[in-house]
Amino acid sequence: MKILFAILLVLLIFIFPQSVGAEELDRLQIFFFEIGDDGEDVLNYYHIAVPSRLSVEDRAIVVFSEIFDNADADKMIYAPPQVRILDIIFHGAASHLVVNLSAEILNYGGTHFEDRLIYKLLINAAGIGNVAYLTILIDGRPQYFPEGTIILKNSLALFNCPRIKIFLQF
């Protein structure tokens, strides 16, 4: 009897995986810069698995947490340490993602660093899906980064062009 039950259970798992607790997963890419052998920055990425049912806000929390929680890791250069995610709101009708970060986001130095940080925020937001615009608030308000950049309803259209979309799918 136990053998028959085990065979039936195995068949159910393979025939009806959703009915026994298996959950569909999506792969999200986390983009980061690393220093290549020639000393130049190289854009790279790795995958994380998230449940398909996650909302855009929840996906954004996962992505931005991955960026800032790993800020001390080698692959997370250009992400200042101790940055906290204060709030994330998605305005679905406008496809507008608003990410409120702590002031520690400003704790870095130099134009090159800012360029890489901004690019990393934009490309990772585009990879979340269903996001056309991104705003970064710092301590609850729009604010310029030290080198003069502001992310205030920036369009992510550049990252949604066909060539970039192909890259974002790997």
Instruction: Look at residue 90 in the predicted model and tell me its pLDDT.
Output: 96
Mean pLDDT score of the chain: 78
* Among the listed residues 89, 170, 73, 65, the one whose alpha carbon sits nearest the alpha carbon of residue 137: 89
CA dist., res. 64 & res. 138, Å (int): 14
* Among the listed residues 103, 168, 88, the one whose alpha carbon sits nearest the alpha carbon of residue 134: 88
Q: Assign 75 a pLDDT band (cuts: 50, 70, 90).
A: low
Residue 160 corresponds to which tokens in the numbers above?
A: 């949604």
Distances (CA, A) of 50 to 35, 40, 45, 116, 151: 28, 32, 16, 26, 26
CB 168 within 8 A of CB 126: yes
Q: Assign 125 a pLDDT band (cuts: 50, 70, 90).
A: very high
Out of 6-15, 70-79, 83-92, least confident range: 6-15
> Does the CA dihedral 113-118-124-127 come out positive or negative?
negative
Q: All domains of the chain, ordered by start, with CATH?
A: 55-168 (3.30.300)
Strands, DSSP E only, in the chain?
Answer: 25-35, 41-51, 85-91, 96-101, 133-138, 141-142, 154-155
**Residue bearing the bigger pLDDT, 94 or 41:** 94
Residue 19 corresponds to which tokens in the numbers above?
A: 């009915």
Q: Characterise 39 by phi-psi region: left (phi > 0), alpha (psi -120 to 50), beta (else).
A: left
Q: What is the pTM of this model?
A: 0.76
